[in-house]
Amino acid sequence: MRHYKKGRKLGTDASHTRAMKRSLVGALFLNDRIKTVEARAKEVRGDADRVIGWAKRGDVHSRRLAIAYLGDKALVHEIFEKVKQGMFTDRNGGYTRIMKLGNRKGDNAPMVILELVTEPVAAKKAVTKGTAAKATKAAPKKAEPKKAEKAGEETKDAAVESEKASEGETPEAKDTVEAEEATQAAEASAEGDKTEEAVAEPKAEEAQETAADPQAEEAKEDGEAAKEAETK
């Protein structure tokens, strides 16, 4: 039973595993990066973070713990000096990174590079509640496929109707054309009636004149006959 034996099985006994992990952590702090198997790199990350945490504390007790773990006073002094100068002050964790290299040729073991993260942390922009709400409101909602298809069909129908309206094929356009034709016919008939009235008026006047002319001639003849009788 593996009670209180957490961690990965690295194919060695306990003492060999402890010695291997210490040597890997020491090589990491000495060279800033090491190439090893993925399982060993993942198992060593926690120990490297623990050593950096002791260096951040910087007291005598933490220094003694680091010396007891690594077994190298010069290396521990170098680590503590780097941290004291501000190497990991802006970082609260995640002091190492793993980059995969692929499988090894012999036993097909996954190989990785384990290295220290020395870049400064990029400060995140502070987002207020108002700006976040505006961003969420401004973000357009994705239309559902069915609604998008319906919208596309409606736009196509509207385009077809507009083309038909421009050509006069829709029922509304036909009604408007018929109404325009009816109004034009009514106007033409009204103009014809006016022309007929205008032609009939002079004809009536001529008829009246012709009717009045014989009476006037008879009156003239009677007047002339009366004058002749008086002269005689």
pTM: 0.52
Q: Note whether residue 204 is domain-resident.
A: yes
Last residue of a domain, one of 76, 97, 116: 116
- Total domain count, the chain: 2
Q: Note whether residue 78 is domain-resident.
A: yes
Do 90 and 168 lie in one domain? The reply is no
Do 79 and 155 lie in one domain? The reply is no
Q: Note whether residue 184 is domain-resident.
A: yes
Do 110 and 20 lie in one domain? The reply is yes
Smallest CA-to-CA distance from 121 within 98, 87, 81, 97 is with 87
Q: Note whether residue 125 is domain-resident.
A: no
Do 221 and 167 lie in one domain? The reply is yes
Q: Note whether residue 151 is domain-resident.
A: yes
Q: Note whether residue 179 is domain-resident.
A: yes
Q: Which helix (H) or strand (E) holds 100?
A: strand 96-103
**Tens of each residue's pLDDT in the chain, 232 residues:** 888 888 888 888 889 999 999 999 999 999 999 999 999 999 999 999 999 999 999 999 999 999 999 999 999 999 999 999 988 888 888 899 999 999 999 999 999 999 999 888 877 776 666 666 666 666 555 545 566 566 667 777 777 666 665 555 555 556 666 777 777 777 777 776 666 565 555 555 655 655 555 555 666 677 777 777 666 5
Q: Note whether residue 142 is domain-resident.
A: no
Half-sphere exposure of 109 (CA within 13 A, CB side): 12
What type of residue sits at position 67?
I
Q: Note whether residue 121 is domain-resident.
A: no
What is the rounded CA–CA span in Å between residue 80 and residue 59? 10
CATH of the domain at 103: 3.90.1030.10
Do 33 and 108 lie in one domain? The reply is yes
Do 110 and 198 lie in one domain? The reply is no
Domain encompassing residue 78: 14-116
